[in-house]
Structure 1
Amino acid sequence: MNDVVIRVVAGLGRITLNRPKAINALNHGMVRAIDAALVAWADDDAVRGVVVDGAGERGLCAGGDIRSIHDDARAGGTASLGFWADEYRLNARIARFPKPYTAFMDGVVMGGGVGVSAHGSLRVVTERTRLAMPEVGIGLAPDVGGTYLLSRAPGESGTFAALTGATLSGADAVFLGLADVVVPAEQLPFLLATPTEDVIRAHAVPPGESRLAAGWIDECFAADTVEEILDRLHRAGEDATAKEILTRSPTSLKVTLAALRRARDLPDLESALEQEYRVSAACLRGHDLPEGIRAQIVDKDRSPRWSPATLSEVDEALVEKHFAEPEIPFTLTRGAR
């Protein structure tokens, strides 16, 4: 069985992520196959647009194949660097794709799943959408262009999403700017069979209220340090959010906040992806990434032993190390299809 099913149907390039038992988690072969298809379709007059969905009932994509990243990190390998380089090239290609690119973001959409959907031209969510950028919980930082998207979300909603790793609704995704329309999940079979923008928008429903519109989010998450964000959360009576953040990797929290603030000043998506690659490469050589994946995915004890263990132990030098040039550099061509 192919991990990704790629075909042309009635003038549309159709991409179906096809690992339903793994909630369609991306592996390197899938990334390469999707990228090759987009390269071919960009200049193919017989293809007027692209439609992306996921097989099964659980979701579009649960992210990257992080178990393989865990094994690579423990072995001191470089395979993950190659995977990230190709994945980030794909993210940039989706954003610059010259034809309509429609992504159906039903069910679980996390990490790499955001990368293959949220850079498209029409992003469709449902009441079943459960979207997250949960990287701080495994010792990583938001990637796949996530820092670019979240740094440009309204107010500090993107900072909230990145530092909590919280699971978000379809309404939240629209509020963040990661999705365009909400449609009823029961309409998906019809819309997948007739995936034109006019038809999709005709079946759209009001997104509803997003919890990210709460005023305390902007007030608390505008602080310059993670410690000050936590202090503001306690003063605002949002102790549960502060407690949630404190379960994440202290290093990842500080690196993520720095990456988001820097991404605001970067000129384009490609620059953010290059920065994310440097951060990801540093995480690969650090302690917390393999430990976080072990705790969440391998042993599933949900008790990661972070090192450094506290925010106060994460100094500026360690944060800056994550933005240094890695052993295998990575650059993107601007505006390339």
Structure 2
Amino acid sequence: MFSPHTSGEDVLFDQVGDKFVLTLNRPKALNALDLSMIKKINPLLKKWHEEKNVKMIIIKGSGEKAFCAGGDIRAVSGAKSVQNNIQQDFFKEEYKLNYGIGTSKIPWVALIDGITMGGGVGVSVHGHFRVATERTLFAMPETAIGLIPDVGGGYFLPRLPNHIGTFLALTGFRLKGRNVFTAGIATHFVEHAKIKDLERDLLNVKDANLLNTKEVLNYYHDRCSIEKDKPYILAEHLGLIKHAFSDYDISGIVQKLKNDSSDWCNTQLQTLNKMSPTSLKVTCEQLRHGSTKDLRDVLVMEYRIVQRIMQGSDFYEGVRSVIIDKDMKPVWNPKTLDEVSDEFVQSHFEPFKDGDDIHLEPF
């Protein structure tokens, strides 16, 4: 079925006629993106767009657990203690990939069958089609590690209905299965057992374009009955989410949740209390600005923010607590929302004195 084009241990490229299947191939690491993988993907995508003879790109993950669980945050965090540029290069290359996907005219189909978080969202949500299954687990959990929901999160999250993007960004709430489609993140929902058949039929499409690619996806989506009668997990809370999370103001959000005092609101408050106060405030501003910017400007903004975060302490403390030691007891600095000044928040958004050194262009 496949004729190999380019392969490596961490990412595989397979050609079927005028179509390519890109497989993230680090199953033991839940297919987390690292700089090596991104540097292999970007030049090939650029080449395919320049040659104009590729009609469809399918991206998927290997193994049974994940599409892509995020970026290799451990490596980025560890780079602080060594003399290299990985903290700049990783985000530059990753955001170039995100922007290339978001501006691509080649049908981009992401089979988000499994864990899809952080960097995995970045290589799927900006494309034309995202296919979720009952095994999909979506989340943007960055505020728990002192980061922000980047990879263009500032663009797509504010555009989700009922302000659920702000809710997801701040709390890291996990959506599973058909809920990912209902929330507006996936474009289609197909049962896991049919994914191989779907991929086969996509690869057999003649003269592929957005319309006939969508027709194949619609065919499988319309015939999928799994979880169809299962209620949307956020359905009963949508009114409250729309009310509480509408102003990009974390203090106001907290107060509105306190005013409601329901068990669900108390649970969200407990979750927010565990997150980096700096991340919560910066994320609110990120989403506020991103709601009116295009994808390119959002990614430039997020690059500025992330580089300022790399100069602080919360990111390293979050990675230590959640990923390395796993004690889930981060010591944030500042410790409370009240201690995070507006001036400190705004400093994350300032252009660099020597100009932005990230250049984003379509492939």
SS in 1 for 2:274: coil
CA contact (8 A) 1:136 1:163 kept: yes
Q: How far is 1:99 from its partner?
A: 1.1
Select the residue among 75, 78, 89 that pairs with 1:68.
Answer: 75
Question: Aligned residue for 2:315?
Answer: 289
Distance 1:138 1:67, change over 3 A: same
Tell me the TM-score normalized by structure 1.
Answer: 0.94
1:43-81: CA deviation from partner (whole Å, max 9, x where unpaired):
335421100000000011010001111112345753111
Q: 2:228 matched to 1:211? A: no
Give the gaps of 5 or more residues in structure 1: none
Q: 1:199 to 1:265 in 2, by over 3 A?
A: closer
Q: In the TM superposition, what is the alpha-carbon distance from 1:178 to its structure 2 partner?
A: 2.3
Question: Is 1:243 the equivalent of 2:265?
Answer: no
Amino acid at match of 2:111: F
2:33 corresponding residue in structure 1: 26
Q: What's the C-alpha RMSD, in Å, of the aligned pairs?
A: 1.8
Superposition pairs of residues 12-161 of structure 1, within 5 angstroms: 12-75=19-82, 78-161=85-168
Among residues 291, 294, 308, which one is paired with 1:264 in the alignment? 291
**Alpha-carbon distance, 1:170 to partner:** 3.7
Q: What is the CA-CA distance between 1:321 and the residue it aligns to?
A: 1.4
1:176 Cα deviation after fit: 3.9
2:219 corresponds in structure 1 to 202
**How far does residue 330 in structure 1 lie from its aligned partner after superposition?**
3.1
> Aligned residues, how many?
335
Displacement, 1:332?
A: 3.5
Cα–Cα, structure 1 residues 77 and 166, in superposed 2: closer, same or farther, change >3 Å? farther
Say whether the 8 Å CA contact 1:250–1:311 is kept in structure 2: yes
Q: Is the 8 A contact 1:281 1:326 kept in 2?
A: no
Matches of 2:87 and 2:301 in 1, distance apart?
Answer: 16
Which residue identity lines up with residue 313 of structure 2 in the other structure?
H
For the pair 1:228 / 2:245, whether they are aligned, the reply is: no
**3-state SS of the aligned residue for 1:301?**
coil
Task: Indicate if the aligned counterparts of 1:136 and 1:162 stay in contact, CA closer than 8 A.
Answer: yes
- CA distance in 2 between counterparts of 1:298 and 1:101 reads 34
Counterpart for residue 182 of structure 1: 189
- Structure 1 vs Structure 2: percent identity of aligned residues? 38
AA in 1 matched with 2:258: H
**Offset of residue 227 of structure 1:** 1.7
Moved over 6 A (4+): none
Q: Which residue of 1 aligns with 2:325?
A: 299
Q: Comparing 123-132 with 195-204, which one deviates more in the overlay?
A: 195-204
Q: Offset of 1:32 from its aligned partner?
A: 1.4
Shift of 1:199: 2.8
Consecutive unaligned residues in structure 2, runs of 5 or more: 1-7, 206-212
Residues 296, 155 of structure 1: alpha-carbon distance in 2 compared, 3 angstrom cutoff: same
Deviation at 1:209, TM superposition (A): 4.3
| Deviations, residues 250-279 of structure 1 (Å, cap 9, x unaligned) | 00000000110111121x100000010011
> Deviations along 1:123-177, whole A, 9 cap, x unmatched?
1001111011111010000111111000111121100000001111243433443
3-state SS of paired residue (1:306): coil
Distance (Å, rounded) in 2 between the aligned partners of 1:333 and 1:80: 17
Deviation at 1:119, TM superposition (A): 0.9
* 1:202-231 per-position Cα deviation (integer Å, ceiling 9, x unaligned): 111366643344211011112442122111
Partner of 2:357: 330
Any conservation in 2 of the 1:158–1:176 contact (CA below 8 Å)? no
Change (3 A) 1:112 1:224: closer
Structure 1 pair 88/333, CA: closer, same or farther in 2 (3 Å)?
closer
TM-score where L is the length of structure 2: 0.88
Classify the secondary structure of the residue corresponding to 2:71: coil
Q: Judge conservation of contact 2:248–2:287 (CA < 8 Å) in 1.
A: no
**Residue identity in the other structure for 1:293:** V
Give the number of the structure whose alpha-carbon radius of gyration is greater: 2
